[in-house]
């Protein structure tokens, strides 16, 4: 019988299932250049790398929303909110 790490690698290569790495990866598959979630969502390497930027955009939008809501509470917070408002260039 092959050692356990070798068997784990063989299962990973054969089944493309990353669950062998740990419970959090159960159901995730890596086949070719795509990572597939247990729900069937597919991720390319570029999309995985772009995740950082998507999170930054979401945090920025959340901050803008909080600040725009704060604008209703007083002029000082309104000034702070306007500092983050998008500027339209014509």
pLDDT by 10-residue block (mean), the chain, 90 residues? 77 77 89 91 92 92 84 52 41
Alpha carbons 25 and 19: distance in angstroms, whole number:
5
pLDDT for residue 4: 80
pLDDT for residue 32: 86
């Amino acid at each position: 019988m092959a050692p356990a790490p070798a068997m784990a690698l063989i299962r990973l290569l054969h089944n493309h299932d990353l669950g062998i790495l740990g419970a959090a990866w159960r159901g995730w598959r890596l086949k070719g250049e795509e990572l597939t979630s247990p729900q069937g969502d597919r991720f390319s390497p570029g999309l995985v790398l772009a995740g950082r930027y998507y999170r930054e955009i979401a945090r920025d939008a959340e901050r803008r929303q909080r600040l725009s809501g704060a604008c209703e509470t007083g002029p000082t917070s309104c000034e702070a909110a306007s500092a983050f408002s998008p500027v339209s260039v014509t």
